[in-house]
A = this chain, B = another copy of it.
Amino acid sequence: MINIALFGAGRIGSLHAANIAASRPRASLACVYDTNRALAEAVAARHNTRVASSIEAVFADPGIQAVMIASPTSTHVELITAAARAGKAILCEKPIDLDIERVERCKRDIAGTGVPVQIAFNRRYDQSHRAVREAVRAGDIGALELLVLTSRDPGLPSLEYIKGSGGLFRDMMIHDFDLARFILGDDPVVELFATGSIMVEPRFKEIGDVDTAMVIMKAASGALVHINNSRRAVYGYDQRVEAFGSKGMVQSDNLRASTLRRTDANSTDAREPLLNFFMERYRQAYLDELGEFIEVVAGKAQPTAGFEDGRCALILANAAIESLRSGRAIKINTG
């Protein structure tokens, strides 16, 4: 059994805590740490485990093999680095950091430790998106030529959250950048254009962020990628992928709680709204992500998304910000 320490007992940390607890006997939740001790205690109590006294205590504990980092983004680099040095396997929430310089330094700092790092890009574990990736990799659509990602959140987070989020491209679209890279496989993005608007919440102007955005990317092969984002889809969490190629097309679609269709005098085959948000839509994906991590810690698998994927997604997000400002396509070199 693998003992996992959890950093961060907020919304996403609580989700991971429950999943780790439910993964017994493959893994167990060894302890929980949060700077907000009350939060940590609540999560620990719910899963019958203990609160860690300090970060250092976690890393010094020889009974802990792995850490799940779900604390605020600004703490990720420091925790990754310390965990790697302590020889603890790492599953870290996205993004690694908002600052590419810090990410690059972290990359150098952990080089050679041999510790596996998995980045929690949950969409890679969704069975439908993953089926798109597998079909593309298997050559089912021939050469990939057009990739269209639709990704819309059900509603605005608090402006407070937005302020510290790094903006739409680093906070929200970073998932789509990663998913695009996942489906492109070894065909790197070489160019990116981004634009955006404030359509949902006028106060985004003060923050210097957008709530609605479109991106086009070009890969080395010439394949073109489109991503569109909105911070507010009234019908739920809209998550679709369409991959088009020389032999055809594969598409993944949204999930709903039931298959009910309603037909009346005004409309036919109406379905219910989509599952509301990532906790619902990617519920199984989070479990499968953890399942992979347990395999990774046991040395039986490589992470589907590693540190390098986190770094590259951030480079694309940063390029999008630059493109939005300059009105130019940005050359990408993730070398």
CA distance A273 to B247 in the complex (A): 13
Asked if A123 CB lies within 8 Å of chain B CBs, one says: no
Whether A226 sits at the interface, judged by CB under 8 Å, is: yes
Contact, CB under 8 Å: B247 / A251: no
Residue of B nearest to A131 (CB): B260
Please, how many angstroms separate the alpha-carbon atoms of A196 and B135 in the complex?
A: 24
CB contacts (< 8 Å) of A259 on chain B: these are 128, 252-255
Known A251-B260, A328-B329; judge A213-B224 contact (CB<8 A): yes
Interface residues on A, range: 35 or more
Q: Mark A247-270, 1 if CB is under 8 A from B, else 0.
A: 111111111111111111111111
Note all chain B residues with C-beta closer than 8 A to A216. 193, 195, 214-216, 226
Determine whether A106 belongs to the interface, using a CB cutoff of 8 Å to chain B. Answer: no
A3-11, A230-238, A293-301, A305-313 - interface stretch: A230-238
* Inter-chain contacts of A236 with B (CB < 8 A): 268
- Cross-chain contact A260 with B132 (CB below 8 angstroms): yes
Which residues of A, 202-247, contact B by the 8 Å Cβ criterion? 212-216, 218, 222-224, 226, 228, 230, 232-236, 244, 246-247
Contacting B at CB under 8 A, from A127-167, are: 127-128, 130-132, 135, 140-141, 143, 145-146, 148, 150, 152
Please report the C-alpha to C-alpha distance between residue A17 and residue B214 in the assembled complex, in whole angstroms.
42
Number of copies: 4
Task: Decide if A191 is an interface residue (CB 8 Å cutoff).
Answer: yes
Q: Can you show 26 pairs from A to B with CB atoms below 8 A apart?
A: A128-B258, A131-B272, A135-B260, A145-B197, A145-B230, A146-B230, A148-B148, A191-B195, A197-B223, A197-B224, A215-B216, A216-B216, A226-B228, A234-B247, A235-B248, A235-B268, A247-B265, A248-B263, A250-B262, A252-B259, A254-B268, A267-B270, A267-B272, A268-B270, A269-B271, A328-B329
Q: Which of chain B's residues has its CB closest to A255's CB?
A: B259
Give the residue among A135, A199, A213, A263 with the most B Cβ atoms within 10 A: A263
- Contact residue among B145, B255, B267 (Cβ-Cβ distance under 8 Å from A273): B267
